[in-house]
Amino acid sequence: MNASLRYYGDPFLREKAIEVTQVTDEIRELVRQMIEIMETKNGIGLAAPQLGVLLRIIVSNAHYEDENGELHIGEAKAYINPVLTNPSDILVERSEGCLSIPKLYAPVIRPLSITVEALNLQGEKFKEEKSGYVARCLMHEYDHLDGILFVDRIKGRKRSELEPLLLKIKQHYYKK
Protein backbone atom coordinates (compact mmCIF):
# COMPACT_ATOMS: atom_id res chain seq x y z
CA MET A 1 0.00 0.00 0.00
CA ASN A 2 1.23 3.44 -0.87
CA ALA A 3 -0.36 5.81 1.59
CA SER A 4 -0.45 9.56 1.19
CA LEU A 5 -1.78 12.36 3.32
CA ARG A 6 -5.37 13.50 2.68
CA TYR A 7 -6.25 17.17 2.92
CA TYR A 8 -9.25 19.23 3.96
CA GLY A 9 -12.03 18.68 1.44
CA ASP A 10 -11.23 14.99 1.00
CA PRO A 11 -14.35 12.91 1.75
CA PHE A 12 -12.24 10.28 3.58
CA LEU A 13 -11.73 12.80 6.39
CA ARG A 14 -15.50 12.82 6.97
CA GLU A 15 -16.03 9.07 7.21
CA LYS A 16 -16.36 7.01 10.39
CA ALA A 17 -13.53 4.49 10.70
CA ILE A 18 -14.13 0.85 11.73
CA GLU A 19 -12.40 -1.22 14.39
CA VAL A 20 -9.35 -3.32 13.62
CA THR A 21 -10.37 -6.98 14.04
CA GLN A 22 -6.86 -8.38 14.29
CA VAL A 23 -3.43 -6.76 14.61
CA THR A 24 -1.67 -8.35 11.64
CA ASP A 25 1.59 -7.63 9.80
CA GLU A 26 -0.45 -5.52 7.39
CA ILE A 27 -1.64 -3.34 10.30
CA ARG A 28 1.92 -3.05 11.63
CA GLU A 29 3.07 -1.96 8.16
CA LEU A 30 0.28 0.64 8.03
CA VAL A 31 1.37 1.96 11.45
CA ARG A 32 4.97 2.16 10.21
CA GLN A 33 3.84 4.28 7.26
CA MET A 34 1.67 6.47 9.49
CA ILE A 35 4.62 7.17 11.78
CA GLU A 36 6.88 7.89 8.82
CA ILE A 37 4.45 10.40 7.33
CA MET A 38 3.72 12.02 10.71
CA GLU A 39 7.43 12.51 11.39
CA THR A 40 8.28 13.66 7.86
CA LYS A 41 5.62 16.36 8.21
CA ASN A 42 6.74 17.26 11.77
CA GLY A 43 3.40 16.27 13.24
CA ILE A 44 2.78 15.01 16.78
CA GLY A 45 -0.14 12.76 15.86
CA LEU A 46 -1.87 11.15 12.91
CA ALA A 47 -5.02 9.07 12.39
CA ALA A 48 -5.43 6.38 9.71
CA PRO A 49 -8.32 8.19 7.94
CA GLN A 50 -5.84 10.99 7.18
CA LEU A 51 -4.17 8.48 4.85
CA GLY A 52 -7.50 7.39 3.41
CA VAL A 53 -7.60 4.21 5.53
CA LEU A 54 -10.85 3.90 7.46
CA LEU A 55 -9.51 1.95 10.44
CA ARG A 56 -9.48 3.02 14.09
CA ILE A 57 -5.74 3.57 14.49
CA ILE A 58 -3.89 6.62 15.72
CA VAL A 59 -0.20 7.30 16.26
CA SER A 60 1.48 9.93 18.37
CA ASN A 61 4.98 10.83 19.45
CA ALA A 62 3.86 13.32 22.13
CA HIS A 63 5.22 11.96 25.43
CA TYR A 64 4.61 14.50 28.15
CA GLU A 65 4.32 18.18 28.86
CA ASP A 66 6.55 19.64 31.52
CA GLU A 67 5.62 22.23 34.15
CA ASN A 68 6.68 25.01 31.75
CA GLY A 69 4.18 23.81 29.18
CA GLU A 70 6.86 22.47 26.89
CA LEU A 71 5.86 19.36 24.97
CA HIS A 72 8.39 16.53 24.92
CA ILE A 73 8.49 14.37 21.81
CA GLY A 74 9.70 10.78 21.93
CA GLU A 75 9.34 7.46 20.16
CA ALA A 76 6.05 7.23 18.31
CA LYS A 77 3.39 4.93 19.66
CA ALA A 78 0.30 3.32 18.11
CA TYR A 79 -3.17 3.26 19.67
CA ILE A 80 -5.32 0.66 17.93
CA ASN A 81 -9.11 0.77 18.55
CA PRO A 82 -8.64 3.53 21.14
CA VAL A 83 -11.38 4.32 23.64
CA LEU A 84 -11.33 7.58 25.59
CA THR A 85 -12.94 7.78 29.02
CA ASN A 86 -12.87 9.95 32.17
CA PRO A 87 -12.61 13.37 30.52
CA SER A 88 -11.78 15.91 33.21
CA ASP A 89 -14.39 18.49 34.17
CA ILE A 90 -11.69 21.09 33.73
CA LEU A 91 -11.77 22.46 30.19
CA VAL A 92 -8.84 24.23 28.58
CA GLU A 93 -8.64 26.32 25.42
CA ARG A 94 -5.42 25.96 23.44
CA SER A 95 -4.32 26.32 19.86
CA GLU A 96 -4.33 23.29 17.56
CA GLY A 97 -3.26 22.51 14.05
CA CYS A 98 -3.72 19.50 11.78
CA LEU A 99 -1.53 17.94 9.08
CA SER A 100 -4.65 17.68 6.89
CA ILE A 101 -5.35 21.42 7.30
CA PRO A 102 -1.90 22.91 6.68
CA LYS A 103 -0.85 26.18 8.28
CA LEU A 104 -4.14 26.82 10.04
CA TYR A 105 -3.99 27.13 13.84
CA ALA A 106 -6.92 27.97 16.05
CA PRO A 107 -7.90 27.57 19.71
CA VAL A 108 -10.12 24.63 20.69
CA ILE A 109 -11.76 23.92 24.06
CA ARG A 110 -11.17 20.38 25.34
CA PRO A 111 -10.90 18.55 28.68
CA LEU A 112 -7.53 18.88 30.39
CA SER A 113 -7.06 15.13 30.88
CA ILE A 114 -8.36 11.81 29.60
CA THR A 115 -7.93 8.05 30.04
CA VAL A 116 -7.11 6.09 26.88
CA GLU A 117 -7.44 2.33 26.43
CA ALA A 118 -6.19 0.73 23.22
CA LEU A 119 -4.35 -2.22 21.69
CA ASN A 120 -0.62 -2.08 21.02
CA LEU A 121 1.17 -3.52 17.99
CA GLN A 122 1.13 -6.98 19.61
CA GLY A 123 -2.64 -6.78 19.94
CA GLU A 124 -2.42 -6.41 23.75
CA LYS A 125 -4.63 -4.04 25.71
CA PHE A 126 -3.05 -1.13 27.54
CA LYS A 127 -4.33 1.87 29.46
CA GLU A 128 -2.83 5.31 30.03
CA GLU A 129 -3.85 8.50 31.76
CA LYS A 130 -2.84 11.59 29.84
CA SER A 131 -3.09 15.28 30.51
CA GLY A 132 -2.16 18.59 28.95
CA TYR A 133 -1.16 18.78 25.32
CA VAL A 134 -0.61 15.01 25.07
CA ALA A 135 -4.25 14.39 26.04
CA ARG A 136 -5.32 17.09 23.60
CA CYS A 137 -3.37 15.41 20.82
CA LEU A 138 -5.08 12.05 21.49
CA MET A 139 -8.53 13.69 21.58
CA HIS A 140 -7.79 15.48 18.29
CA GLU A 141 -6.66 12.23 16.62
CA TYR A 142 -9.57 10.30 18.10
CA ASP A 143 -11.97 12.79 16.53
CA HIS A 144 -10.51 11.92 13.11
CA LEU A 145 -11.74 8.33 13.61
CA ASP A 146 -15.29 9.69 13.71
CA GLY A 147 -14.85 12.08 10.79
CA ILE A 148 -14.54 15.13 13.07
CA LEU A 149 -11.97 17.84 12.41
CA PHE A 150 -10.71 20.28 15.04
CA VAL A 151 -12.28 23.21 13.22
CA ASP A 152 -15.70 21.56 13.79
CA ARG A 153 -15.22 22.14 17.51
CA ILE A 154 -14.90 25.89 16.97
CA LYS A 155 -18.31 27.52 16.98
CA GLY A 156 -19.96 30.75 15.99
CA ARG A 157 -18.09 33.76 14.73
CA LYS A 158 -14.67 32.21 15.32
CA ARG A 159 -15.60 29.35 13.01
CA SER A 160 -17.06 31.71 10.40
CA GLU A 161 -13.78 33.60 10.36
CA LEU A 162 -11.97 30.38 9.45
CA GLU A 163 -14.19 29.61 6.45
CA PRO A 164 -12.28 31.67 3.84
CA LEU A 165 -9.00 30.07 5.00
CA LEU A 166 -10.52 26.59 4.87
CA LEU A 167 -11.76 27.23 1.35
CA LYS A 168 -8.28 28.34 0.29
CA ILE A 169 -6.71 25.24 1.84
CA LYS A 170 -9.23 23.01 0.07
CA GLN A 171 -8.55 24.67 -3.26
CA HIS A 172 -4.80 24.53 -2.83
CA TYR A 173 -4.24 21.05 -1.38
CA TYR A 174 -7.18 18.80 -2.11
CA LYS A 175 -6.77 16.91 -5.38
CA LYS A 176 -9.86 14.98 -6.48
Q: Does 98 bind Zn ion (CB under 5 A)?
A: yes
CA dist., res. 83 & res. 64, Å (int): 19
The least CB distance from residue 31 to Zn ion, in Å, is 17
Q: Which stretch binds Zn ion (CB under 5 A): 7-15, 63-71, 90-98, 116-124?
A: 90-98
Q: Does 118 bind Zn ion (CB under 5 A)?
A: no
CA dist., res. 158 & res. 125, Å (int): 39
Q: Which stretch binds Zn ion (CB under 5 A): 93-101, 109-117, 129-137, 163-171?
A: 93-101
For residue 163, report the phi and psi dihedrals to the nearest 5 degrees: -55, -50
Quick check: 134 and 96 in contact, CB under 8 A?
no
Q: Which stretch binds Zn ion (CB under 5 A): 62-70, 92-100, 122-130, 166-174?
A: 92-100
Give the SS3 label for residue 19. coil
In the residue annotation, 36 being an active-site residue is answered as: no
The least CB distance from residue 25 to Zn ion, in Å, is 27
CA dist., res. 63 & res. 135, Å (int): 10
Number of residues that bind Zn ion (CB under 5 A): 1
Which helix (H) or strand (E) segment holds residue 26: the answer is helix 25-40
Residue in 19, 75, 129, 141 annotated catalytic: 141
The least CB distance from residue 74 to Zn ion, in Å, is 20
Q: Does 5 bind Zn ion (CB under 5 A)?
A: no
Quick check: 33 and 3 in contact, CB under 8 A?
yes
Site residues (vs Zn ion, CB under 5 A)? 98
What are the catalytic residues? 141
